[in-house]
Amino acid sequence: MKITVNGKEEEVKAGLTIVDYLESKDLEAGRVVIEYNGQVIKQDKWEQIELAEDDNLEILNFVGGGQ
Amino acid sequence: MADKLVIGDQELDSRLFTGTGKFAKQDLIPETIKAARSQVVTMALRRVDFDSPQHNVINYIPDDCVLLPNTSGARTAEEAVRIARIAEAAGCGNWVKIEVISDNKYLLPDNQETLKATEILAKEGFVVLPYVSPDLMVAKRLEEAGAAAVMPLGAPIGSNRGLKTKELVRILIEEIELPIVVDAGIGKPSQAAEAMEMGADAVLVNTAIATAKDPVVMGDAFAAAVEAGRKAYLAGTGAVKKYASASSPLTGFLKEDQE
């Protein structure tokens, strides 16, 4: 099925949770912020959300910045 | 008497805000913040780059600091509002530095979009610190909109050119009740001291510290300069005069009268 991650379309297996997806990308949980279909999702809910066709995932991170 | 800077719900001892960008190594960040005695630290939010994921910079910010996520990357008020809400939902607290920029050459802020974002976020209960070009009327509107401070630029971001906007910032300090935090352009401790002597409530420094040969020592140097400038402001600097004014009695060394 197709989902959009950080603005790019991607083909993924059906039935993946957010946690599964992050693991597939070797991303450590706790290091990222997840916006799922326009809503920020707290980390304790990541395991419960199963990705579906046409979902939109933004995977964000706090980076150095000042001015 | 304790000289605290009150912004939103916080009473701060330090008047030096710092940024986390441009450090050669992220490991330098905690030690530098400590040396700078900084209590307010800013960072940005970006999409994760899957090819080279970076560590979350929050892990490098000491726990007792107030996090000041900024909305850099936003080109409109709507984008800034979205970033602020994400940062809050991610557990960063409710402070936000509004940065709305669409000018890539000088990175000058879009004051109108910044005002719009401030209006929305202040209503939602955010402690809003807008980064603006120093303009008195805009600053007044920000005050009405519920901003917690106003952050005028001293010179373009990362330019290290110092207080090029001095006269306009001086007017904001005089006319605006909110704390004035000079943000951007400060390249040397002497320039930070200059802003503080003039009555700025705080300064935000990133590039000048992070890109110094030794950021930790530079952080300490900026802290000392900000403290010195603040003390000088509170002490009240003497009047500027055109001609000399002797500091010992105007009699000759041995004779009563001078020629």
For residue A12, tell me if it sits in a domain.
Answer: yes
* A8 touching B (Cβ < 8 Å): no
Which of B4, B25, B97, B213 is an active site residue?
B97
pLDDT digits (tens, 9 = 90+) for B2-18: 899 999 999 999 999 99
* Minimal Cβ distance to A40: which of B44, B86, B204: B86
Query: Cβ contacts of residue B218 below 8 Å, gap of 6+?
Result: B32, B189, B208, B209, B212
Which DSSP state fits B66? E
| Confidence (pLDDT) at A66 | 77
Is the per-residue pLDDT at B259 higher than 60?
A: no
Torsion sign over Cα A19, A25, A30, A36: negative
ipTM above 0.90, yes or no: no
pLDDT digits (tens, 9 = 90+) for B56-94: 888 899 989 999 999 999 999 999 999 999 898 888 889
Is the per-residue pLDDT at B51 higher than 80?
A: no
| Confidence (pLDDT) at A29 | 62
Q: Closest Cα partner for B116 from B171, B73, B158, B74?
A: B74
Distance of CA B55 to the CA centre of its chain: 25
For residue A65, tell me if it sits in a domain.
Answer: no
Which range of residues forms the domain containing residue A51?
Answer: 2-60
- Count of domains in chain A? 1
For residue A41, tell me if it sits in a domain.
Answer: yes
Q: Closest Cα partner for B38 from B9, B14, B3?
A: B14
CATH number of the domain bearing residue A18 = 3.10.20.30
For residue A27, tell me if it sits in a domain.
Answer: yes
Q: Among this protein's residues, is B105 annotated catalytic? A: no
For residue A28, tell me if it sits in a domain.
Answer: yes
For residue A19, tell me if it sits in a domain.
Answer: yes
For residue A67, tell me if it sits in a domain.
Answer: no
| Confidence (pLDDT) at B57 | 85
* A59 with B48: Cβ contact below 8 A: yes
Instruction: Give all domains of chain B, ordered by start, each with its CATH number.
Output: 13-235 (3.20.20.70)
Which tokens hold the place of B87? Answer: 């940062």
* A12 touching B (Cβ < 8 Å): no
